[in-house]
């Protein structure tokens, strides 16, 4: 079969655009198709988390995204008397970025779209509605409405939303529920409140939300009561009456748009079927209460992107793609459950139930540990993979960090100061150790295997040892632990050698003496080819695809760092 693209992505939303940027950096030929005529230009998602910003950093677009965000956004919950129930203002930035950020989605999506201009091998075609996908022995044929020519690809990823045509063609279920409660969302320019933070009103008379986005845009959301029809809620007079509950002059607002929507709690029966996969809203839908719908889609792209690139470029076998479902399903389900639970806590309209809730929350807030638990958002489920593209050594310590995201503090190198760690690690695999001779620890053969995959090698040292020439190796980058965050991390664990995936998940961790055997086992789990493989365009197995990726990333700031 003649392949027109390595990967066809259906849907030019945030998940599809992020995935295309990840694949583009790895030299993968990508075609994005979308049935719309252009990107959606009205606000939808309003909250970015630290993991999403880290992903945007990895694709070299963080400097373009940040101007459209409100970092360190505080979220306060009030009862009907405007007494504070809870506050979320997480102080730490362990992954390099604030945990809570307001943002203007159309502007961020536009930056993701513009980022594709870097790649001659990535194309976007609007006005293409897919109606059929036919798997062949070695690929997929994608057909479109309106007589547009069919396209052949090795894989198809459906990022085409809750009504996904890709999911329907896969014959995959979309299990879960749709809430009977409706909400009116109103986006207003020239913010009539003007302050930078957000609040949720857990008022049983009519729960509401007020969110500062960025660029003077504010979102209001109001629960619609059962006796109020969609037509009534769509009436401009009704909309202004709702807004008038929170501002003094609703007739003066500069309204961008308003609409009625419902909350969904659904997850696809499978994220992969053969050569077809799902990501973003096509794979899962969740209520808005934790602002995780958008971010979950970006997590999908980050998880799937490096795996698809490794398979397409011949660095890993097709079985690696099975780990996408194994890893993302459990975490997406946890996010859906959390968002659904928070919605149930916020939105009761029975006054006795609401009063009981308020008493319980006020009592809990008096307990310092519980208050910190909410304030620092420790309730947010974090990825921790027990199965998938990870290797847990049988003799690993009980608190092994394998399967978790590695931190991203600021570090010094011999050539640069105060850079985020991921800028040193690059865009591919990395092997990192604490203050040890990494080539000697791995052994030359294992070292060269990772080098053939384009991996970067990083030795972390205390700042006092940064310029000591011992252990120097032309293939190892020496990093100074600028503020002690890395030593504090290693103080918690006995493992001193970390094998990091491109999405910065710890694929395996071990003490120094077990590094060679751990690496061998990890190669098997990741279905990696021993020599690095040959890519779909005949790339050499010396990491040249990653060199192309790193050159593209460096030209856009992804590797050189953001001070």
The reply, when asked if residue 23 is annotated as ligand binding, is yes
Banded pLDDT at 558 (limits 50, 70, 90)? very low
Residue in the block written with tokens 């799902």: 278
The reply, when asked if residue 27 is annotated as ligand binding, is yes
* Element holding 547 (H helix, E strand): helix 544-556
Structure tokens at 155: 């894989």
Tallying the residues shown for the chain, one arrives at 563
pLDDT > 90 in the chain, percent: 69
For residue range 334-382, list pLDDT tens digits in order: 888 877 777 777 777 778 877 777 777 777 766 666 555 454 445 566 7
- Residue 551 is predicted with a pLDDT of 43
- Residue 241 is predicted with a pLDDT of 95
Asked whether residue 420 is assigned to any structural domain, the reply reads yes
Residue in the block written with tokens 């459906």: 158
Q: Is the confidence at residue 269, as pLDDT, over 90?
A: yes
The reply, when asked if residue 11 is annotated as ligand binding, is yes
Region class of 108: left (phi > 0), else alpha (psi between -120 and 50), else beta: alpha
Q: Is the confidence at residue 559, as pLDDT, over 60?
A: no
The reply, when asked if residue 272 is annotated as ligand binding, is yes
- Residue 366 is predicted with a pLDDT of 65
The reply, when asked if residue 280 is annotated as ligand binding, is yes
- Residue 43 is predicted with a pLDDT of 66
Asked whether residue 415 is assigned to any structural domain, the reply reads yes
The reply, when asked if residue 16 is annotated as ligand binding, is yes
- Residue 286 is predicted with a pLDDT of 84
- Residue 361 is predicted with a pLDDT of 76
- Name the residue range of residue 495's domain: 410-525
The reply, when asked if residue 273 is annotated as ligand binding, is yes
Banded pLDDT at 545 (limits 50, 70, 90)? very low
- Residue 264 is predicted with a pLDDT of 87
* Mean per-residue pLDDT, 26-40: 96
Taking the C-alpha atoms of residue 156 and residue 4, their distance in angstroms, rounded to an integer, is 12
- Residue 178 is predicted with a pLDDT of 80
The reply, when asked if residue 8 is annotated as ligand binding, is yes
The reply, when asked if residue 171 is annotated as ligand binding, is no
Q: Where are the alpha helices (DSSP H) in 313-350?
A: 322-346
Residue in the block written with tokens 């909309």: 239
Q: Is the confidence at residue 90, as pLDDT, over 90?
A: no
The reply, when asked if residue 244 is annotated as ligand binding, is no
- Residue 548 is predicted with a pLDDT of 37
The reply, when asked if residue 279 is annotated as ligand binding, is yes
The reply, when asked if residue 498 is annotated as ligand binding, is no
- Residue 130 is predicted with a pLDDT of 96
- Residue 137 is predicted with a pLDDT of 87
The reply, when asked if residue 33 is annotated as ligand binding, is yes
The reply, when asked if residue 353 is annotated as ligand binding, is no
The reply, when asked if residue 278 is annotated as ligand binding, is yes
- Residue 531 is predicted with a pLDDT of 55
Secondary structure (H, E, C), 114-183: HHHHHCCCEEEEECCCEEEEEECCCCEEEEEHHHCCCEEEEEEEECCCCCCHHHHHHCCCEEEEEEEEEE
Query: Closest by alpha carbon to 322, among 26, 136, 527?
Result: 527
Banded pLDDT at 493 (limits 50, 70, 90)? very high
Asked whether residue 203 is assigned to any structural domain, the reply reads no
* Mean per-residue pLDDT, 3-9: 93
Asked whether residue 453 is assigned to any structural domain, the reply reads yes
The reply, when asked if residue 124 is annotated as ligand binding, is no
The reply, when asked if residue 9 is annotated as ligand binding, is yes
Residue in the block written with tokens 């696809």: 268
For residue range 136-179, list pLDDT tens digits in order: 989 999 999 998 999 999 999 999 999 999 999 999 999 998 87
CATH number of the structural domain spanning residue 520: 3.40.30.10
Q: Is the confidence at residue 469, as pLDDT, over 60?
A: yes
The reply, when asked if residue 281 is annotated as ligand binding, is yes
- Residue 379 is predicted with a pLDDT of 52
* Mean per-residue pLDDT, 518-528: 96
CB under 8 A, 24+ apart: contacts of 200-203: 200/75, 200/76, 200/77, 200/78, 200/346, 201/78, 201/80, 201/82, 202/77, 202/78, 202/79, 202/80, 202/85, 202/345, 202/346, 202/347, 202/354, 202/357, 202/358, 203/78, 203/79, 203/80, 203/354
The reply, when asked if residue 534 is annotated as ligand binding, is no
The reply, when asked if residue 367 is annotated as ligand binding, is no
Total structural domains within the chain: 1
Q: Is the confidence at residue 557, as pLDDT, over 60?
A: no
Q: Is the confidence at residue 541, as pLDDT, over 80?
A: no
The reply, when asked if residue 25 is annotated as ligand binding, is yes
The reply, when asked if residue 386 is annotated as ligand binding, is no
The reply, when asked if residue 29 is annotated as ligand binding, is yes
pLDDT > 70 in the chain, percent: 89
Banded pLDDT at 293 (limits 50, 70, 90)? confident
For residue range 93-106, list pLDDT tens digits in order: 899 999 889 999 99
The reply, when asked if residue 201 is annotated as ligand binding, is no
For residue range 181-205, list pLDDT tens digits in order: 889 999 999 999 999 989 988 888 9
Give whole-number Cα distances, 443 to 34, 263, 511, 516, in Å.
48, 54, 14, 7
Asked whether residue 495 is assigned to any structural domain, the reply reads yes
The reply, when asked if residue 21 is annotated as ligand binding, is yes
Asked whether residue 65 is assigned to any structural domain, the reply reads no
The reply, when asked if residue 24 is annotated as ligand binding, is yes
The reply, when asked if residue 546 is annotated as ligand binding, is no
The reply, when asked if residue 32 is annotated as ligand binding, is yes
Backbone φ and ψ of 255, nearest 5°? -80, 130
Banded pLDDT at 547 (limits 50, 70, 90)? very low
For residue range 422-468, list pLDDT tens digits in order: 999 999 999 999 999 999 999 999 999 999 999 999 999 999 999 99
Banded pLDDT at 88 (limits 50, 70, 90)? confident
**What average pLDDT does the chain have?**
88
Asked whether residue 381 is assigned to any structural domain, the reply reads no
* Mean per-residue pLDDT, 506-520: 97
Most confident segment among 174-183, 255-264, 290-299: 255-264
The reply, when asked if residue 337 is annotated as ligand binding, is no
Q: Is the confidence at residue 539, as pLDDT, over 70?
A: no
The reply, when asked if residue 35 is annotated as ligand binding, is yes
DSSP conformational letter for 392: -
The reply, when asked if residue 20 is annotated as ligand binding, is yes
* Mean per-residue pLDDT, 500-520: 97
* Mean per-residue pLDDT, 66-87: 89
The reply, when asked if residue 277 is annotated as ligand binding, is yes
* Mean per-residue pLDDT, 30-58: 92
The reply, when asked if residue 500 is annotated as ligand binding, is no
For residue range 326-336, list pLDDT tens digits in order: 999 888 888 88
Asked whether residue 487 is assigned to any structural domain, the reply reads yes
């Amino acid at each position: 079969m003649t392949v027109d693209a390595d990967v066809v992505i259906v849907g030019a939303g945030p998940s599809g655009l992020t995935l295309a940027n990840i694949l583009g950096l790895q030299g993968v030929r990508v075609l994005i198709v979308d049935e719309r005529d252009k990107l959606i230009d009205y606000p939808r998602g309003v909250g970015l988390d630290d993991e999403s910003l880290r992903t945007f950093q990895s694709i070299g677009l963080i400097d373009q995204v940040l101007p459209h965000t409100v970092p360190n956004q505080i979220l306060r919950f009030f009862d009907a008397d405007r007494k504070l129930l809870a506050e979320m203002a997480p102080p730490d930035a362990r992954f390099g970025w604030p945990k809570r950020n307001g943002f203007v989605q159309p502007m961020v999506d536009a930056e993701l779209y513009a980022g594709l201009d870097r790649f001659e091998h990535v194309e976007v075609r609007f006005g293409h509605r897919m109606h059929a996908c036919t798997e062949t022995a070695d690929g997929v044929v994608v057909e479109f409405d309106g007589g547009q020519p069919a396209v052949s690809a090795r894989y198809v990823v459906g990022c085409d939303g809750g009504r996904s045509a890709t999911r329907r063609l896969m014959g995959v279920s979309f299990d879960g529920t749709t809430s009977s409660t409706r909400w009116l969302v109103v986006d207003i320019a020239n913010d009539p409140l003007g302050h930078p933070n957000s609040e949720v009103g857990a008022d049983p008379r009519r729960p509401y939300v007020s969110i500062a986005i960025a660029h003077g845009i504010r979102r209001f959301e109001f629960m619609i009561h059962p006796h109020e029809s969609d037509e009534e809620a769509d009436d401009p007079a009704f909309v202004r009456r709702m807004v008038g509950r929170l501002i003094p002059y609703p007739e003066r607002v500069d309204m961008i748009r308003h609409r009625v929507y419902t909350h969904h709690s659904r997850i696809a029966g499978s994220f992969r079927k053969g050569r077809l996969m799902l990501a973003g809203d096509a794979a899962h839908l969740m209520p808005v209460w934790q602002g995780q719908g958008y971010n979950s889609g970006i997590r999908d792209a980050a998880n799937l992107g490096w795996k698809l690139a490794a398979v397409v470029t011949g660095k890993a076998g097709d079985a690696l793609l099975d780990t996408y479902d194994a890893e993302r399903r459990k975490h997406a389900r946890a996010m859906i459950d959390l968002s659904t639970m928070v919605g149930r806590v916020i939105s009761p309209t029975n006054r006795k139930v609401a009063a009981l809730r308020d008493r319980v929350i006020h009592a809990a807030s008096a307990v310092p540990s519980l208050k910190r638990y909410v304030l620092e958002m420790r309730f947010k489920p974090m990825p921790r993979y027990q199965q998938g593209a990870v290797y847990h050594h049988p003799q690993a310590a009980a608190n092994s960090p394998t399967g978790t995201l590695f931190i991203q503090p600021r570090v010094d190198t011999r050539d640069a100061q105060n850079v985020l760690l991921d800028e040193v690690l690059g865009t591919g695999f990395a092997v990192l150790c604490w203050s040890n001779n990494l080539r000697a620890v791995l052994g030359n053969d294992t070292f060269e295997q990772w080098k053939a995959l384009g991996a970067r090698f990083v030795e972390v040292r205390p700042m006092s040892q940064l310029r000591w020439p011992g252990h120097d190796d032309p293939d190892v980058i020496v990093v100074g632990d600028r503020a002690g965050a890395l030593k504090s991390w290693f103080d918690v664990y006995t493992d001193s050698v970390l094998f990091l995936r491109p999405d910065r998940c710890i694929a395996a961790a071990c003490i120094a003496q077990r590094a060679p055997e751990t690496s061998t086992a990890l190669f098997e789990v990741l279905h990696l080819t021993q020599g690095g493989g040959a890519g779909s365009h005949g790339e050499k197995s010396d990491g040249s695809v990653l060199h192309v990726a790193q050159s593209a990333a460096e030209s856009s700031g992804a590797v050189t760092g953001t001070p």
